[in-house]
Copies of this chain bind each other. A is one copy, B any other.
Amino acid sequence: MRILYHLPLSPQSRQVRLVLGEKRLPYEPMTERVWERRTEFLAMNPAGDVPLLVEENGLTIPNAGVICEYLEEAYPDTPLMGRTLAERAEVRRLMAWFNEKFAQEVSRNLLGEKVDKRLSGRGNPDGNALRAGYANIRFHLDYIGWLAETRAWLAGGMLSMADFAAAAHLSCLDFIGDIDWSKAPAVKDWYARVKSRPCFRALLNDRVTGFTPPDHYADLDF
Protein backbone atom coordinates (compact mmCIF):
# COMPACT_ATOMS: atom_id res chain seq x y z
CA MET A 1 0.00 0.00 0.00
CA ARG A 2 1.12 3.54 -0.80
CA ILE A 3 2.09 5.44 2.38
CA LEU A 4 1.97 9.18 3.02
CA TYR A 5 3.88 10.45 6.03
CA HIS A 6 2.14 13.65 7.05
CA LEU A 7 0.92 15.94 9.82
CA PRO A 8 -2.77 16.86 10.04
CA LEU A 9 -2.10 20.62 10.17
CA SER A 10 0.75 20.74 7.64
CA PRO A 11 -0.55 22.64 4.59
CA GLN A 12 1.95 20.95 2.28
CA SER A 13 0.81 17.53 3.51
CA ARG A 14 -2.82 18.51 2.99
CA GLN A 15 -2.09 19.60 -0.57
CA VAL A 16 -0.75 16.13 -1.38
CA ARG A 17 -3.69 14.43 0.37
CA LEU A 18 -6.09 16.49 -1.76
CA VAL A 19 -4.25 15.64 -4.98
CA LEU A 20 -4.10 11.92 -4.09
CA GLY A 21 -7.83 12.03 -3.30
CA GLU A 22 -8.78 13.89 -6.47
CA LYS A 23 -6.78 11.40 -8.54
CA ARG A 24 -8.46 8.55 -6.59
CA LEU A 25 -5.14 7.09 -5.50
CA PRO A 26 -5.56 5.16 -2.24
CA TYR A 27 -2.93 5.63 0.46
CA GLU A 28 -2.31 4.95 4.10
CA PRO A 29 -1.71 8.17 6.10
CA MET A 30 0.99 7.92 8.75
CA THR A 31 1.42 10.76 11.22
CA GLU A 32 5.12 11.67 11.52
CA ARG A 33 6.09 13.80 14.53
CA VAL A 34 8.91 15.44 12.61
CA TRP A 35 10.28 17.31 15.63
CA GLU A 36 11.33 13.96 17.13
CA ARG A 37 13.74 13.55 14.19
CA ARG A 38 13.29 9.76 14.04
CA THR A 39 16.38 8.09 12.58
CA GLU A 40 14.42 5.80 10.23
CA PHE A 41 12.50 8.77 8.89
CA LEU A 42 15.63 10.90 8.35
CA ALA A 43 17.15 7.99 6.43
CA MET A 44 14.17 8.14 4.04
CA ASN A 45 14.06 11.93 3.93
CA PRO A 46 17.23 13.82 4.90
CA ALA A 47 15.23 17.07 4.82
CA GLY A 48 13.29 15.69 7.78
CA ASP A 49 9.94 17.22 6.87
CA VAL A 50 6.51 16.09 5.73
CA PRO A 51 4.93 15.19 3.38
CA LEU A 52 6.87 12.12 2.30
CA LEU A 53 5.31 9.69 -0.18
CA VAL A 54 6.44 6.06 -0.33
CA GLU A 55 5.08 4.16 -3.31
CA GLU A 56 4.39 0.43 -3.19
CA ASN A 57 7.47 -0.17 -5.38
CA GLY A 58 9.61 1.61 -2.77
CA LEU A 59 10.03 4.91 -4.62
CA THR A 60 10.34 7.55 -1.90
CA ILE A 61 9.51 11.18 -2.70
CA PRO A 62 9.66 14.19 -0.36
CA ASN A 63 8.40 17.77 -0.77
CA ALA A 64 4.83 18.68 -1.80
CA GLY A 65 5.88 20.27 -5.08
CA VAL A 66 8.06 17.30 -6.06
CA ILE A 67 5.35 14.81 -5.08
CA CYS A 68 2.73 16.71 -7.09
CA GLU A 69 4.94 16.77 -10.21
CA TYR A 70 5.51 13.03 -9.79
CA LEU A 71 1.80 12.25 -9.32
CA GLU A 72 0.92 14.23 -12.43
CA GLU A 73 3.49 12.34 -14.52
CA ALA A 74 2.77 8.91 -13.05
CA TYR A 75 -1.04 9.20 -12.94
CA PRO A 76 -2.10 11.59 -15.71
CA ASP A 77 -5.72 10.38 -15.97
CA THR A 78 -7.12 13.22 -13.87
CA PRO A 79 -4.94 16.12 -15.09
CA LEU A 80 -4.47 18.80 -12.45
CA MET A 81 -1.67 20.90 -13.92
CA GLY A 82 -3.16 22.43 -17.05
CA ARG A 83 -2.60 21.44 -20.65
CA THR A 84 -0.77 24.19 -22.57
CA LEU A 85 2.65 25.52 -21.62
CA ALA A 86 1.05 28.76 -20.45
CA GLU A 87 -1.57 27.00 -18.33
CA ARG A 88 1.05 24.78 -16.74
CA ALA A 89 3.30 27.75 -15.98
CA GLU A 90 0.38 29.49 -14.26
CA VAL A 91 -0.54 26.44 -12.15
CA ARG A 92 3.09 26.06 -11.08
CA ARG A 93 3.47 29.80 -10.42
CA LEU A 94 0.56 29.67 -7.98
CA MET A 95 1.75 26.42 -6.38
CA ALA A 96 5.08 28.14 -5.72
CA TRP A 97 3.25 31.29 -4.59
CA PHE A 98 1.39 29.36 -1.87
CA ASN A 99 4.09 26.92 -0.84
CA GLU A 100 6.87 29.53 -0.76
CA LYS A 101 5.49 33.07 -0.44
CA PHE A 102 2.21 32.43 1.40
CA ALA A 103 3.94 29.77 3.51
CA GLN A 104 6.66 32.21 4.59
CA GLU A 105 4.52 35.29 5.02
CA VAL A 106 1.39 33.76 6.57
CA SER A 107 1.46 30.05 7.47
CA ARG A 108 4.86 30.07 9.16
CA ASN A 109 3.85 33.09 11.27
CA LEU A 110 0.44 31.75 12.33
CA LEU A 111 0.49 27.94 12.10
CA GLY A 112 4.21 27.78 12.88
CA GLU A 113 3.80 29.88 16.02
CA LYS A 114 0.46 28.53 17.27
CA VAL A 115 0.54 24.88 16.23
CA ASP A 116 4.07 23.69 15.50
CA LYS A 117 5.55 25.35 18.59
CA ARG A 118 2.92 23.87 20.90
CA LEU A 119 3.09 20.37 19.42
CA SER A 120 6.87 20.30 19.58
CA GLY A 121 7.08 21.94 23.02
CA ARG A 122 9.04 24.96 21.79
CA GLY A 123 7.24 27.53 23.91
CA ASN A 124 4.75 30.29 23.26
CA PRO A 125 3.90 32.10 20.04
CA ASP A 126 6.01 35.14 19.23
CA GLY A 127 3.87 38.28 19.16
CA ASN A 128 5.79 39.91 16.33
CA ALA A 129 5.39 36.84 14.15
CA LEU A 130 1.64 36.70 14.82
CA ARG A 131 1.24 40.40 14.00
CA ALA A 132 3.17 39.92 10.75
CA GLY A 133 1.02 36.90 9.89
CA TYR A 134 -2.26 38.78 10.47
CA ALA A 135 -1.03 41.76 8.45
CA ASN A 136 0.12 39.57 5.56
CA ILE A 137 -3.00 37.40 5.38
CA ARG A 138 -5.13 40.42 4.44
CA PHE A 139 -3.02 41.09 1.35
CA HIS A 140 -3.07 37.43 0.41
CA LEU A 141 -6.86 37.07 0.83
CA ASP A 142 -7.27 40.10 -1.45
CA TYR A 143 -5.08 38.45 -4.07
CA ILE A 144 -6.91 35.11 -3.84
CA GLY A 145 -10.20 36.98 -4.02
CA TRP A 146 -9.09 38.78 -7.16
CA LEU A 147 -8.08 35.47 -8.77
CA ALA A 148 -11.39 33.87 -7.72
CA GLU A 149 -13.43 36.77 -9.12
CA THR A 150 -11.70 36.92 -12.49
CA ARG A 151 -11.30 33.19 -13.20
CA ALA A 152 -13.36 30.00 -12.89
CA TRP A 153 -10.65 28.45 -10.74
CA LEU A 154 -7.52 30.09 -9.29
CA ALA A 155 -5.17 29.24 -12.19
CA GLY A 156 -7.74 29.63 -14.99
CA GLY A 157 -10.51 27.59 -16.54
CA MET A 158 -9.92 24.28 -14.81
CA LEU A 159 -9.56 22.97 -11.28
CA SER A 160 -5.85 22.47 -10.66
CA MET A 161 -3.19 21.85 -8.06
CA ALA A 162 -3.11 25.63 -7.53
CA ASP A 163 -6.58 25.41 -5.98
CA PHE A 164 -5.48 22.55 -3.75
CA ALA A 165 -2.30 24.38 -2.69
CA ALA A 166 -4.29 27.46 -1.69
CA ALA A 167 -7.11 25.48 -0.05
CA ALA A 168 -4.60 23.40 1.90
CA HIS A 169 -3.10 26.49 3.54
CA LEU A 170 -6.48 28.16 4.12
CA SER A 171 -8.00 24.99 5.61
CA CYS A 172 -5.25 24.79 8.24
CA LEU A 173 -5.66 28.48 9.08
CA ASP A 174 -9.44 27.97 9.25
CA PHE A 175 -8.88 25.09 11.68
CA ILE A 176 -7.24 27.49 14.15
CA GLY A 177 -9.91 30.14 13.54
CA ASP A 178 -7.61 32.60 11.78
CA ILE A 179 -9.75 33.33 8.71
CA ASP A 180 -12.50 35.92 8.81
CA TRP A 181 -14.62 34.71 5.89
CA SER A 182 -17.05 37.64 6.19
CA LYS A 183 -14.29 39.94 4.93
CA ALA A 184 -13.45 37.82 1.89
CA PRO A 185 -16.71 36.79 0.18
CA ALA A 186 -15.13 35.86 -3.18
CA VAL A 187 -12.56 33.67 -1.43
CA LYS A 188 -15.35 32.07 0.59
CA ASP A 189 -17.37 31.20 -2.54
CA TRP A 190 -14.34 29.63 -4.22
CA TYR A 191 -13.30 27.79 -1.02
CA ALA A 192 -16.84 26.39 -0.59
CA ARG A 193 -16.56 24.84 -4.05
CA VAL A 194 -13.21 23.22 -3.28
CA LYS A 195 -14.34 22.16 0.20
CA SER A 196 -17.36 20.31 -1.17
CA ARG A 197 -15.26 17.96 -3.30
CA PRO A 198 -15.05 14.37 -2.02
CA CYS A 199 -11.24 14.60 -1.70
CA PHE A 200 -11.71 17.23 1.03
CA ARG A 201 -13.70 15.03 3.38
CA ALA A 202 -10.76 13.40 5.15
CA LEU A 203 -9.27 16.82 5.94
CA LEU A 204 -12.49 18.03 7.52
CA ASN A 205 -12.53 14.99 9.81
CA ASP A 206 -9.00 15.67 11.13
CA ARG A 207 -8.76 16.33 14.83
CA VAL A 208 -5.62 17.37 16.68
CA THR A 209 -5.22 17.02 20.45
CA GLY A 210 -5.24 20.41 22.12
CA PHE A 211 -6.93 22.27 19.27
CA THR A 212 -10.66 22.73 18.69
CA PRO A 213 -11.67 23.98 15.26
CA PRO A 214 -14.50 26.53 15.01
CA ASP A 215 -18.01 25.17 14.36
CA HIS A 216 -18.01 26.22 10.71
CA TYR A 217 -14.73 24.37 9.95
CA ALA A 218 -16.30 21.13 8.69
CA ASP A 219 -19.56 22.74 7.54
CA LEU A 220 -19.96 22.80 3.75
CA ASP A 221 -22.50 25.67 4.06
CA PHE A 222 -20.35 27.84 6.30
Contacts and interface: CB of A to CB of B under 8 A. Distances in A.
A100 interface: yes
Can you tell how many copies of this chain the complex includes?
Answer: 2
A70 B93 CA distance: 11
Given A46-B143, A47-B101, A73 B88 contact: yes
Given A47-B101, A97-B47, A100-B100, A92 B65 contact: yes
If over half of A's interface residues share one DSSP class (helix, strand or loop), that class is named, otherwise mixed; here it is helix
Contacts of A46: 143
Interface residues of A, number: 23
A88 B101 CA distance: 25
Interface stretch (A1-9, A20-28, A56-64): A56-64
A74 B86 CA distance: 10
Given A47-B101, A59-B85, A61-B89, 11 more contacts: A47-B97, A59-B86, A59-B89, A62-B93, A63-B92, A63-B96, A66-B92, A66-B93, A70-B92, A73-B88, A74-B85
